[in-house]
């Protein structure tokens, strides 16, 4: 799995005129990466790290932000295309190939590999499909679509033969799933391994099937029965922070590590609102009306109206005056693990997942399992154990179906049995 190609400003790289160069960064793995200059320089404060784009408030003395942004996107697409072309040849090093052809004239790299860029080419059609989704779906979905494309390309290299639309029958499906389960390299981890999780495989199959159905609907390829492309998923164990643990974190003394305070506060706020990272980090004065939060969810586009918990109000209003600190999700995930560890939440936790027809177990300290989504899980589980009706919790969390909501409830059997007893104790006897 190759890490994405993206635009960055390298921290600390500042010219005498206080501008910083914008680079195209390609990470083949955690150890192998390359930076390519775009020849565009702006002050770093006008760079949006979250969206990797130039702010429209850029002063005109540095150039027209719309034109500069269009130029950056064109160079980013060029880098993506060159890397895709490089991977058509199993003997080509993608980093050296990208460094060689990124600065040269248009289409020079086309002569290096045998890539049939015509209307029937699978990956050309994938590019068109992904481009057609731009602006219609969230950036996270676009990233998943690009990842789907890379998985199919990796399988083509593994099979050492060029895929056509005639290749995608039952035999392809079965071997593709087997490859994704056992053989595809996972390079993002510190210790390289092979094989993806079932839910990642399921998303890949789901989006690949949608791509084929879209091409059929547009009459680009003939109709083919795709009923054997099964969307697989599993209910994954995941941790949550119970009310006592959350209280410990909330009162944690971080005077010796003050840089962790904002991450602690955001973590607690996430657990008290049940919002996704992109939603709770963007809370501001415009969405608070008469004590209620009116949040347009970044992922679904739907609006939820939620009350503001008293402790959440202390953080959001009393402490930050509705101006939360801006942090990246990567930094948030990194530093909240340290916060939870300092809170003493270090008990070993076992997480299991299926790989093919076997079950694998991984044991880590609880703090090591913590990520941005723990806030959503913790909110739903704590409210459920407190006896809040599921439909009311779903109103705040924004879940559309009870099936999807139930996946977030991480209470064990003892906690659920205790909850039932608590409900019985409040009912009249016979």
In Å, what is the CA distance from 373 to each residue of 52, 186, 246, 316, 378? 22, 22, 15, 19, 9
Output the pLDDT for position 43.
Answer: 93
Q: Are 184 and 242 in contact (CB under 8 A)?
A: no
- Name all contacts of 17-22 with Cβ < 8 Å and 24+ positions apart: 18/43, 19/43, 19/62, 20/44, 20/47, 22/47, 22/72
**Is the per-residue pLDDT at 404 higher than 70?**
yes
Distance, CA of 212 to CA of 148 (rounded, Å) = 12
**Is the per-residue pLDDT at 17 higher than 70?**
yes
* Residue of 135, 143, 133 whose CA lies nearest to 80: 143
First to last CA, the chain: 61
Which residues partner with 27 through β-bridges? Answer: 33
CA atoms within 13 A on the CB side of 187: 15
116 or 159, greater pLDDT = 159
pLDDT in tens, 233-265: 877 767 899 999 999 999 999 999 999 999 999
344 sits in the region (left: phi over 0; alpha: psi -120 to 50; else beta) called left
Q: Are 80 and 60 in contact (CB under 8 A)?
A: no
Spell out the residues 6+ positions from residue 136 whose beta carbon is closer than 8 angstroms to its own: none
Only one residue has tokens 């790299």, namely: 109
- Please provide the average confidence, as pLDDT, over all residues in the chain: 84
* Residue of 172, 145, 148, 150 whose CA lies nearest to 161: 172
Spell out the residues 6+ positions from residue 196 whose beta carbon is closer than 8 angstroms to its own: 1, 180, 181, 184, 186, 204
Look up residue 347 and give its two tokens: 């008990």
Output the pLDDT for position 430.
Answer: 67
Average pLDDT, integer, range 156-166: 90
What does DSSP assign to residue 230?
-
**Is the per-residue pLDDT at 422 higher than 80?**
no
Range with the largest mean pLDDT of 91-95, 397-401, 425-429: 397-401
Instruction: Using CB atoms within 10 Å of the CB of residue 19, give its burial: 0 to 12 exposed, 13 to 18 middle, 19+ buried.
Output: middle
Look up residue 371 and give its two tokens: 């990520």
pLDDT in tens, 201-213: 999 999 999 999 9
**Is the per-residue pLDDT at 93 higher than 50?**
yes
**How much helix, strand and coil, in percent to the nearest 5, is found in the chain?**
50, 15, 40
Range with the largest mean pLDDT of 20-24, 78-82, 107-111: 20-24
Q: Give the rounded distance of the alpha carbon of 411 from its chain centre.
A: 25
* Residue of 144, 270, 160 whose CA lies nearest to 203: 144
Output the pLDDT for position 68.
Answer: 92
Domains and CATH numbers, the chain: 1-113 (no CATH), 116-233 (1.10.150), 243-425 (1.10.443.10)
* Residue of 175, 178, 202, 197 whose CA lies nearest to 186: 197
Output the pLDDT for position 299.
Answer: 73
Distance, CA of 44 to CA of 18 (rounded, Å) = 8
Pairing mode of beta strands 288-289, 292-296: antiparallel
pLDDT in tens, 391-401: 888 888 888 88
Distance, CA of 296 to CA of 306 (rounded, Å) = 11
251 or 142, greater pLDDT = 251
Average pLDDT, integer, range 221-239: 85
Output the pLDDT for position 107.
Answer: 56
pLDDT in tens, 315-354: 988 999 888 998 888 899 999 999 999 999 999 998 877 7
* Residue of 168, 175, 164, 162 whose CA lies nearest to 201: 175
Output the pLDDT for position 186.
Answer: 80
């Amino acid at each position: 799995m190759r890490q994405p190609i993206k635009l960055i400003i390298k921290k600390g790289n500042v010219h005498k005129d206080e501008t910083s160069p914008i680079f195209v960064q390609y990470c083949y793995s955690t150890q192998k990466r390359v930076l390519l200059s775009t020849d565009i320089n702006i002050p770093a404060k006008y760079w949006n790290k979250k969206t990797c784009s130039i702010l429209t408030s850029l002063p005109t003395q540095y150039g027209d932000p719309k034109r500069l942004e269009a130029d950056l996107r064109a160079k980013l697409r060029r880098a993506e295309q060159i890397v895709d072309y490089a991977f058509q040849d199993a003997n080509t090093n993608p980093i050296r190939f990208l460094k060689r052809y990124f600065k040269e004239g248009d289409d020079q790299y086309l002569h290096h590999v045998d890539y049939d860029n015509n209307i029937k080419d699978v990956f050309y059609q994938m590019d068109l499909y992904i481009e057609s989704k731009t602006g219609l779906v969230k950036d996270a979905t676009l990233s998943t679509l690009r990842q789907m494309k890379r998985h199919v390309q990796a399988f083509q290299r593994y099979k050492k033969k060029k895929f056509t639309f005639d290749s995608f029958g039952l035999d392809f499906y079965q071997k593709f799933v087997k490859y994704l389960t056992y053989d595809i390299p996972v390079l993002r981890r510190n210790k390289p391994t092979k094989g993806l999780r079932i839910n990642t495989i399921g998303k890949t199959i789901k989006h690949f099937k949608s791509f084929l159905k879209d091409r059929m609907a547009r009459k680009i390829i003939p109709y083919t029965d795709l009923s054997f492309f099964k969307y697989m998923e599993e209910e994954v164990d995941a941790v949550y922070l119970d009310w006592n643990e959350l209280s410990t974190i909330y009162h944690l003394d971080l005077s010796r590590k003050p840089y962790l305070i904002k991450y602690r506060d955001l973590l607690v706020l996430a657990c008290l609102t049940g919002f996704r990272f992109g939603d709770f980090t963007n809370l501001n004065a415009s969405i608070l009306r008469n004590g209620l939060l009116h949040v347009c969810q970044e992922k679904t586009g739907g609006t939820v109206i939620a009350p503001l918990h008293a402790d959440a109000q202390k953080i959001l209003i009393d402490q930050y005056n509705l101006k939360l600190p801006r942090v990246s999700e990567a930094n948030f995930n990194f530093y909240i693990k340290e916060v939870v560890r300092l809170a003493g939440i270090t008990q070993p936790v076992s997480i299991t997942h299926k790989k093919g027809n076997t079950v694998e177990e991984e044991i880590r300290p609880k703090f090591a399992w913590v990520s941005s989504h723990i806030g959503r899980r913790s909110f739903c589980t704590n409210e459920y154990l407190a006896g809040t009706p599921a439909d009311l919790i779903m109103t705040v969390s924004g879940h559309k179906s009870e099936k999807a909501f139930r996946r977030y409830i991480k209470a064990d059997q003892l906690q659920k049995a205790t909850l039932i007893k608590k409900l019985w104790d409040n009912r009249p006897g016979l």
